[in-house]
Amino acid sequence: MAEYRYCSTLKTMRLTEERVAKVVKDRIFSAAFHPCSSSLLLAAGDKGGRVGLWKLGGDWGDDGVLLFEPHTRPVCCMAFSPAHPTQLLSLSYDGSLRCMDVEKSVFDDVYNAQDALKTFDFMSHDSLTMVVGSLYGDVAIVDRRTPGNSHESLHSLDPKSLRCVSVHPLQRHYFAVAESRVVSIYDSRRLNKNKSQAVSQLHGHSLSISSAYFSPWTGNRVVTSCLDDNIRVYDTSAMTSTSSLLTTIRYNMQTGRWLSKLSAVWDPKQEDCFVVGSMLKPRRVQVYHQSGKLQRSFMDTENLSTVLSVTAFHPTRNALLGGNASGRMHVFSD
């Protein structure tokens, strides 16, 4: 019954000409919805280090868009603070994690690293403690209450690569890391400086893993996206040394070098469904149940003609965003 209701809700969401806008100047690497439910406000980060804000139907800036240049290299991860929604955190290959006060349009430094930064997630309910991953396999624990913009501790995990970190929604000392060909779950209370032991590992990937995310309510599942053309769902409810594989979905992940990588991302309003961009024509965005069943293909031949690599659902409203390689954002909404 719940699945039927969810599919019915997805069917009410449409794309219109007014829900497409050029928000940044270059390829979109990351995007996020503001949690506010009264109006739709989106942020996008692009290849050149720009951050764009777009308020649908808004009268500010150019076509409702405000553009900033807080970074000098790709903005590969961004999120509004769940505890302080006026704050937008953005992280870049330039080695900086910055916090924008959306009301004042001011950026502050949160963390500066020697290496290119790739990913972050909030570790505490007040959103002040974060886990930050660098491209070369280091994980930093950052506490914003500590003066300065350094880390509390730094830990070397996988010397080859690190693509994504995701914190468990309930047991926040656990975080998953997409390493080169395995996803490892670590306990932040038991990290060593050089080699930390994983609590659990998710095996079965034969090529580079682009993302791994805990399910939003319980953390009992992790969805991974891999360049071996598979999306996988794992059972992480027990945190045993090896988490069992539940579902494998064959999926074309070959975006090439000019498009951002595809990533399966959970709907925060739904424990068991996720969204992912698609290489299929006509262009579309797909929503799947964790069992592998396709719930909805969002298509619009008039207003959608490009690959939407970066996708995300709104935390409370029936709205879905997609970002493309030319800086355009598309919003499907009821």
Task: For residue 13, give Cα distances in angstroms to 10, 17, 30, 299, 319.
Answer: 6, 14, 22, 11, 7
In 3D space, the residue among 57, 8, 41, 18 whose CA is nearest the CA of residue 296 turns out to be 8
pLDDT score recorded for residue 1 = 76
Whether pLDDT at 37 is above 70: yes
pLDDT score recorded for residue 43 = 98
Q: What is the mean pLDDT of the chain?
A: 95
pLDDT score recorded for residue 158 = 67
**Share above pLDDT 70 across residues of the chain, in percent, rounded to a whole number:** 99
Helix (H, G, I), strand (E, B) or coil at 17: helix
Whether pLDDT at 144 is above 80: yes
CA angle 324, 226, 285 (to 5 degrees): 35
In this prediction, residues 72-96 reach a mean pLDDT of 97
Identify any residues that bridge with 174 across adjacent strands, giving them in sequence order: 187
pLDDT digits (tens, 9 = 90+) for 153-196: 999 986 678 999 999 999 999 999 999 899 999 999 999 877 78
Task: For residue 226, give Cα distances in angstroms to 133, 243, 322.
Answer: 18, 17, 20
Q: What is the distance between the alpha carbons of residues 253 and 309, in angstroms, rounded to a whole number?
A: 10
pLDDT digits (tens, 9 = 90+) for 214-258: 999 999 999 999 999 999 999 999 999 999 999 999 999 999 999
In this prediction, residues 123-142 reach a mean pLDDT of 95
pTM reported for the whole predicted model: 0.97
Q: What is the distance between the alpha carbons of residues 213 and 219, in angstroms, rounded to a whole number?
A: 9
Residue type, 188: S
Q: Which of these ranges, 8-22, 151-165, 271-285, has the smallest mean pLDDT? A: 151-165
Q: What is the distance between the alpha carbons of residues 237 and 248, in angstroms, rounded to a whole number?
A: 18
